[in-house]
Amino acid sequence: MNNNYSPQLNTAISAAIQAGKIIMRFYSRLENLKVMSKGHNDYVSEADQQAEIIIKETLIKAYPAYKITAEESGSNDIESEYEWFVDPLDGTTNFIHGIPQFAVSIGLCKEGKPVLGVIYDPFKNELFCAEKGKGALMNDKKIRVSNCNSVKSAVFGMGIPYRKQDHSGHYIDTLRTLMDARCGSIRRLGAAALDLAYVASGRLDGFWEFNLKPWDIVAGSIIVSESGGHVSDIENSEDYLNSGNILAANINLHQDVIAKLKKNLL
Ligand code: IPD
Ligand code: CA
Ligand code: CA
């Protein structure tokens, strides 16, 4: 419990840490992990399910009148100006392969706009969080986006489409645009929420991906904006929570990328 944080943020942090403990218990005996298929290249494990149960219990106990949308169990029927978005385990493919790049992501929207977010990497014990107007933190220390202002020297994170093919053409065009601009480097780390936390903390200069869901990006988008970054969709509209197409970077780099994309694809 941190007195500098709102009760909602303290609750979300508590939920994320409890979920992280469950996730790490499963990670320590991966050979016994039960994994189920939800669709082509789309998996859910017991770890995702158990983590989601504890997160929902914690959030509902503290805020019974808030709506909750969680990846594995969907939305409750509550009408509220507040809505939690829960990804109990972002980076499931990494997790089931024993690749230690995964996180819990919990975001809260008020009237459809992100107001707080928590992203917790239980393997590295790194907790990123932010509240509107209060800045962003990693393990209680202020974080800032990088000051890289040119695509030429930028290290980007991104997501390669692997479930549906519909975004692959658009994705290839974006990738080609940045490669043709001879950008610094490109990484596919495999957990979108953590990619956003890495933009917020300056580890990545920018990140883009298509077709994400609100539980992947609500927490990360407020953490990026509170760390001085800019978030939009790749046409520079603010509709990224609905479209799921996201570009996050500091404002100068963001403008550089949008200008290059406009010239080449839009
Ligand atoms: C996925 C990861 C991945 C991204 C996918 C997401 P999940 O989330 O964030 O990096 O490329 O689009 O769906 O399924 O592991 O929670
Ligand atoms: Ca996810
Ligand atoms: Ca997930």
Tokens describing residue 51: 């983590």
What pLDDT, on the 0 to 100 scale, is given for residue 163?
74
56 in a structural domain: yes
Q: Residue 2 falls within a domain, yes or no?
A: no
Residues 94 and 202 in one domain: no
Question: Which CATH number fits the domain that encloses residue 32?
Answer: 3.30.540.10
**Same structural domain for residues 55 and 98?**
yes
Q: What is the pLDDT of residues 27-73, one digit of tens each?
A: 999 999 998 888 887 888 999 999 999 999 999 999 999 999 999 99
pLDDT score of 161 more than 90:
no
Q: Is the CB–ligand 1 distance for residue 91 below 6 Å?
A: yes
Same domain, 163 and 225: yes
**Which atom of ligand 1 is least distant from the CA of 215?**
16
User: Are residues 162 and 90 located together in one domain of the fold?
Assistant: no
Determine if ligand 1 sits within 6 Å of the CB of residue 159. yes
> Is 16 domain-assigned?
yes
Task: Give the long-range contacts of residues 75-83, CB within 8 A, separation 24 or more.
Answer: 81/110, 81/111, 82/108, 82/109, 82/110, 83/108, 83/109, 83/112
Same domain for 155 and 252: yes
The DSSP annotation for 106-138 comes to EEEEETTEEEEEEEEETTTTEEEEEETTS-EEE
Query: Does the Cβ of 47 fall within 6 Å of ligand 1?
Result: no
Q: Whose CA is nearest to atom 12 of ligand 1?
A: 212
Determine how β-strand 141-142 pairs with β-strand 155-158: unpaired
Weakest mean pLDDT among 1-5, 116-120, 162-166: 162-166
At which of 78, 108, 142 does a domain end?
142
Report pLDDT digits (tens) over 184-221: 899 999 999 999 999 999 999 999 999 999 999 999 99
How is residue 153 annotated by DSSP? Answer: G
Does the beta carbon of 250 lie inside 6 Å of ligand 1? no
User: 19 with 112, same domain?
Assistant: yes
Same domain? For 128 and 167 the reply is no
Domain boundary among 115, 142, 169: 142
CB atoms within 10 A of CB 123: 17
Mutate to test the pocket of ligand 1, among 212, 213, 218 (most ligand atoms within 8 A of CB): 212
| Cβ within 8 Å of residue 231, ≥6 positions away | 221, 224, 225, 240, 246, 247, 248
67 within some domain: yes
23 falls within a domain = yes
Whether the full predicted model's pTM is greater than 0.75, yes or no, is yes
Same domain, residue pair 108 and 182: no
Percent of the chain predicted with pLDDT > 70: 98
The overall average pLDDT reported for the chain is: 94
Query: 216-264: per-residue pLDDT in tens?
Result: 999 999 999 999 999 999 889 999 999 999 999 999 999 999 998 888 7
Tell me: do 121 and 162 sit in the same domain.
no
Domain residues for 57? 7-142
134 and 155 in a single domain? The answer is: no
Task: Please identify, among 142, 170, 203, the residue that sits at the C-terminal boundary of a domain.
Answer: 142
CATH number at residue 229: 3.40.190.80
Task: Please state the φ and ψ torsions of residue 68, each to the nearest 5 degrees.
Answer: -130, 135
266, pLDDT greater than 60:
no
Q: Do 124 and 165 sit in the same domain of this protein? A: no
> What is the number of domains present in the chain?
2
Domain-located, residue 57:
yes
To the nearest 10 degrees (0 to 180), the angle between helices 7-27 and 46-62 is 160
Please provide the DSSP assignment of 33-56 as one string.
--EEEEETTEEEEHHHHHHHHHHH
Consecutive H or E run containing 141? strand 141-142
Number of the ligand 1 atom closest to the C-alpha atom of 192? 9
18 and 126 in one domain? yes
Q: Does 1 reside within a domain?
A: no
Structure tokens at 107: 């975001």
Q: Is ligand 1 within 6 A of the CB of residue 87?
A: yes
